Amino acid sequence: MKAQEKLQHELAGAPEILRQFLGYLQTIQGKSVLTVLEYYTDLRTFFRYLKRRANLVGADVPFSEIDISDVGLDLIRTVTLTQVYEYMNFLAIERGNGAAARSRKVCSLRTFFKYLTNKVNKLAVNPIEELDTPKLKKSLPKYLTLEQSLELLSKVDGPYAERDYCILTLFLNCGMRLSELVGINLSDVNRGSESLRIVGKGNKERIVYLNGACLDAIARYLAVRPRDGLKADDRNALFISKQMKRISPKTVQYLVKKYLGEIDLAQEGYSVHKLRHTAATLMYQHGNVDIRVLKDILGHENLGTTEIYTHLSDTQIADAMQSNPLANVKSRAPRPEPQPAPTPESPPSNKRTEQDGARKAAPKKSAPKRKSGEPSAE
């Protein structure tokens, strides 16, 4: 089922107020179908929680089967900031959501209540205006080194070797997202200008210029790409699956994981998205690409998002330390000679100890007595 068909299927059981909001996201704000589906999933969970908390469903009804089609403004107007924080606890404890998942749900709630308050004036006051976002752990994402990237490409084999090699090459050189790769059409490839048109988040287009590796991989794949027996809707798709239709995201994830497994990285937290991060890291570290150029290549809206791809490597940190103008300034005082350690053949002398013992054994001499009236030596 395609994304748009899945969205229409899900919206059949959604309340009117939610359908209007999702329509606003897609048609006015230009959100992609997958993004709209994520908003729907997040808000459906929230509405189910509201109904369960308000005892509007039986205790024996599984959470995943709670119907939200009857949710309206009357229930939404009862929402308070305290309730939303309780909802966050529910997500963390009962549903096992991490900080990243809860942060996304906070974003969905904020957008929804801002829409109700400022866009359609259904609410006089936004009850969650002061809602805080869960603090995310800042960690450096994983990426493949240059040597690992070359080894990954060397492992490509099998009946779809040209296709798989082309997919990996585009990931590692262009830094595109999974959804962007599977959405590439033949008409998006311009071999005359050596460029590729990519449709990113929110249907935003960008042009990526292809290097020699990408052009060669595309040419080799197009020479063996199926032409006959393709599904009518997928004849323009660049990458074709063995079912003779546009390759699916799951198929791409499977083949990437398979090749990562051949270089012992499948179980180390590496994934398709790590290839995007690898491309950005290699361009930044080895190509000295400006961060603003990198932002345009990756299709980021904000420069701050790109900064995560500019983390410093151990080599860069070492080079930075050596570039300090004081790095070669050393003390002019002569370096003290190291004292030799005592050895079993020459035990440490007990001369001081012997002298101390002799001093204690010597009898003390008494001071001469002073005559009366004689001044003291002090």
276 is annotated as an active-site residue? yes
Q: Which residue has the tokens 């906070």?
A: 106
CA–CA distance, 222 with 328 (Å, rounded to integer)? 56
273 is annotated as an active-site residue? yes
CA–CA distance, 194 with 209 (Å, rounded to integer)? 6
The H or E element spanning position 208 is strand 205-209
Write down the catalytic residue from 39, 40, 270, 309.
Answer: 309
191 is annotated as an active-site residue? no
**Which tokens in the block code for residue 209?**
């210029």
- The alpha-helical segments, DSSP class H, found in the chain are 3-11, 16-27, 33-53, 73-76, 81-93, 99-114, 146-154, 161-174, 178-182, 212-222, 249-262, 272-286, 291-298, 303-306, 314-322, 351-361
Write down the catalytic residue from 6, 206, 273, 311.
Answer: 273
CA–CA distance, 141 with 358 (Å, rounded to integer)? 71
300 is annotated as an active-site residue? yes
DSSP category for residue 209: E
Write down the catalytic residue from 31, 48, 163, 177.
Answer: 177
Write down the catalytic residue from 201, 220, 258, 311.
Answer: 201
Q: Which residue has the tokens 């052009």?
A: 215
CA–CA distance, 271 with 150 (Å, rounded to integer)? 16
**Which tokens in the block code for residue 333?**
């005082």
201 is annotated as an active-site residue? yes
DSSP 298-315: HT-SSHHHHGGGGPPPHH
Write down the catalytic residue from 44, 48, 102, 300.
Answer: 300
The residues annotated with a catalytic role in the active site are 177, 201, 273, 276, 300, 309
